[in-house]
Amino acid sequence: MSKQHETYPKKLEKRLLKAEEQCRLNGSKLTLKRKQVLSILLDVKKAISAYELIDIFEDKFQQNMPPMSAYRVLDYLVNLDLAHKINVANKFVACAHIGCENNHDVVQLLFCNQCQNVQEMPVNPSIAESFTNELENSGFQLCSQQIELNCICNSCSDNHQQSQLQHGSLAFTKG
């Protein structure tokens, strides 16, 4: 079976196995609860808050999850680069590159503030180095290797423009 024709459960299981390997390489373990939380993040395919995660977790696994426990698991996943925290929205998303062979030291996260979809893209190393040098020359240092861009995706933008046209109140045009 080709990679393009893999079923979703097989892709999910592969990513979870890669995550377990990543944990092992870092001297830790992907416990059952961590694996369940990561599987939720991989499954929802958009950024969710810790409380949204708790609701999904309790519904899916029929177990109680206190907020402190959810935040501990999310922090663990973020620290091992298995998930990202979208600081601008205080939401979390699974890393798109779990088990990827390429080094993604600096990533940019394009966050649609309407549908909560996130697209993760590596930053060109020469651009990242230039950016870091500019910061240091200005007397600052990076605290995070993640760049967040608060955006609107094309789908939401198109839907908004279509809605505005239907209601006769489109105030701008694309140029």
Establish if 60 belongs to a structural domain.
yes
What is the per-residue pLDDT for 20? 96
Question: Mean pLDDT in the chain?
Answer: 86
- Using pLDDT thresholds of 50, 70 and 90, give the confidence band for residue 159: confident
Establish if 172 belongs to a structural domain.
no
Establish if 171 belongs to a structural domain.
no
Three-state DSSP at 99 gives coil
Looking at the structure of the chain, the number of domains it has is 1
Establish if 55 belongs to a structural domain.
yes
- pLDDT exceeds 50 at position 175: no
Establish if 175 belongs to a structural domain.
no
- Residue 99 and residue 162: Cα distance in Å, rounded? 39
- pLDDT exceeds 90 at position 91: yes
Look at residues 150, 37, 34 and name the one whose alpha carbon lies nearest to residue 88: 150
pTM of the complete model: 0.80
Each residue of 130-155: pLDDT tens digit?
988 998 999 998 787 788 889 999 99
What is the per-residue pLDDT for 103? 59
What's the domain range around 150? 3-166
Establish if 76 belongs to a structural domain.
yes
Each residue of 74-86: pLDDT tens digit?
999 999 999 999 9
Query: Can you give the CATH number for the domain in which 82 is found?
Result: 1.10.10.10
What is the per-residue pLDDT for 174? 41
Cβ atoms 54, 33 nearer than 8 A: no
Each residue of 36-76: pLDDT tens digit?
999 999 999 899 999 999 999 999 999 999 999 999 999 99
Cβ atoms 153, 142 nearer than 8 A: no
High-pLDDT (> 70) share of the chain, %: 85
- pLDDT exceeds 90 at position 107: no
What is the per-residue pLDDT for 127? 87
